[in-house]
Amino acid sequence: MAELQEVQITEEKPLLPGQTPEVAKEAELAARILLDRGQTHSVETPYGSVTFTVYGTPKPKRPAILTYHDVGLNYKTCFQPLFQFGDMQEIIQNFVRVHVDAPGMEEGAPVFPVGYQYPSLDQLADTIPCILQYLNFSTIIGVGVGAGAYILSRYALNHQETVEGLVLINIDPNAKGWMDWAAHKLTGLTSSIAEMILGHLFSQEELSGNSELIQKYRNIITHAPNLENIELYWNSYNNRRDLNFERGGDITLKCPVMLVVGDQAPHEDAVVECNSKLDPTQTSFLKMADSGGQPQLTQPGKLTEAFKYFLQGMGYMASSCMTRLSRSRTASLTSAASIDGNRSRSRTLSQSSESGTLSSGPPGHTMEVSC
Give the pLDDT of residue 212. Answer: 96
Question: Which tens digits make up the pLDDT trace of 84-114?
Answer: 999 999 999 999 999 999 999 999 999 999 9
Q: What is the mean pLDDT of the chain?
A: 82
Q: 96-110, 115-129, 183-197, 212-226: which has the minimum mean pLDDT?
A: 183-197
Fold of the domain built from segment(s) 35-315: Rossmann fold (3.40.50)
DSSP letter string, 179-245: HHHHHHHHHHHHS-HHHHHHHHHS-HHHHHHT-HHHHHHHHHHHT-TTHHHHHHHHHHHHTPPP---
Q: Span 184-204, mean pLDDT?
A: 81
Instruction: Give the C-alpha separation, 147 to 82, whole Å.
Output: 18
Task: Please check the confidence at residue 318 and state whether its pLDDT lies above 50.
Answer: yes
Give the pLDDT of residue 4. Answer: 41
Residue 55, strand partner residues: 97
Task: Tell me the whole-structure pTM to 2 decimals.
Answer: 0.80
Smallest CA-to-CA distance from 256 within 306, 312, 310 is with 310
Residue 37: pLDDT band with limits 50, 70, 90: confident
Under 8 Å CB-to-CB from 326, ≥6 apart: which residues?
A: 305, 308, 309, 312
Where is pLDDT greater, at 342 or 198?
A: 198
